[in-house]
Chains A and B, each alone.
Chain A
Amino acid sequence: MKRKIHDTGLSPIVKMAVCILAVPVATFGFYVALHGHLTPGGGFAGGAVIATITAMFLVAFGRDVIKSQHSKSFSSLRTIKSIGITTFGILIFISLSATFLHQYLTSSGWFFRVTVPFGPNPGYLGTGGIIPLMNLAVGLEVVVGLSLAVILLLVSSKEGHTEAPVEKMGRREE
């Protein structure tokens, strides 16, 4: 199995670089998502950043890596999918609690609530009530959603057509 992975895809340098880069990229994405209530960014931006890791791996290792597992079963994709849905459900419940109970966590004052003075301040992580949690949940949802879209689009297309002549597409006939 290991040997097969190294046979496909780009050169080992790229693979190594991707593996190394994945860690800071993931960290940065997590940072962006977590600090959504303090700095520019938020769940969507952070999730999109992390989802690029999937694309990077797919480019570097080639689609055969995932395809070899894909042909065995759909289980891995399904697991990712159900994780995404679960987080999404959690997000919904949280945001609904915000809807019905008006920022329940914020007003109760026992979680994530440090009173923010109005006006310029350095920004404290423990503020914002429920919003950081929602940011993280949205981030997770975006990660899974975008990764799934990329994986499905890249991996699920059939073999025969991938090397079809491109120049014939969409040419004018007249």
Chain B
Amino acid sequence: MKEKTKAGTLLVLFAFLFVAVLSLHPFGRPTDTRMDDYLIQNGQLETGCNNIVTSVLFDYRALDTLGETTVLFAATCGIFAAFLGRKR
């Protein structure tokens, strides 16, 4: 009975997310692309690299990339500390 309740809750969540996703723009036709169009038009000139994704990663959203490498670094540190502490 409990399992069924859980499954029911998950199904309700499924329905909600489904409706939310269906009310997005249809796949392949994004509606509001001002920011991305600006980047495609000006990214090459402003950063000097052909790959717009790279220019977004390392210039326009460099703080995110910094945070992401920090996450990797923190994870390595955490793994290291956990294993070292256990060794003692």
Contacts and interface: CB of A to CB of B under 8 A. Distances in A.
**Touch A–B, Cβ below 8 Å:** yes
Interface of A: 36-40, 42, 81, 84-85, 88, 91-92, 95, 98-99, 103, 106, 113-116, 118-119, 121, 123, 127-131, 134-135, 138, 141-142, 144-145, 148-149, 152-153, 156
Chain B interface size, under 10 / 10 to 19 / 20 to 34 / 35 or more: 20 to 34
Residue with the highest number of chain A CB atoms closer than 10 Å, among B45, B47, B53: B47
Given A81-B80, A88-B69, A134-B58, 8 more contacts: A38-B51, A115-B48, A116-B44, A129-B47, A145-B75, A149-B75, A152-B80, A156-B87
Interface stretch (B4-12, B29-37, B59-67): B59-67
A99 B75 contact: no
B69 A131 contact: no
Given A42-B54, A131-B47, A88 B73 contact: yes
Given A42-B54, A134-B58, A152 B66 contact: no
Given A42-B54, A131-B54, A145 B76 contact: yes
